[in-house]
Amino acid sequence: MSAHAVCSTCVEAPAVVVRVDNATSTTSCACRACDARASQKRGRQTTSRVALRPPSSSANDQLACDVCQMNPAYVICHEDRAFLCRGCDVSIHD
């Protein structure tokens, strides 16, 4: 079973970025084409973007926590622009 994010706009293509609206803090996943269209419409200054890694066929290829560098990433902290494991997320945001 392959788990990957799908574009929130076209609901067909694999997502390559997470877009965060700086005014409302709403997030959405976007494929390359929809990200380019949204950037042309709204401009990049109104949106923060976090790139996603392409899906891997290797079960051992997990994104590591940016803080401890040992545990797999559990959540994206948009404010810190970091991937965090559950333990680091709780210790930082508790």
The structure tokens listed for 18 are: 């997470």
The per-residue pLDDT for range 17-62, each reduced to its tens digit, is: 888 888 887 888 899 999 988 888 766 577 888 787 665 555 556 7
Q: What is the dihedral of CA 54, 92, 90, 60, to 10 degrees?
A: 30
Average pLDDT along the chain: 80
Q: Which residue type occupies 40?
A: Q
> What pTM, to 2 d.p., does this model score?
0.56
Distance CA 36, CA 75 (A): 25
Long-range (24+ apart) CB contacts under 8 A made by 76-79 are: 76/18, 76/50, 78/20, 78/25, 78/27, 78/48, 78/50
- Residue in the block written with tokens 């210790």: 91
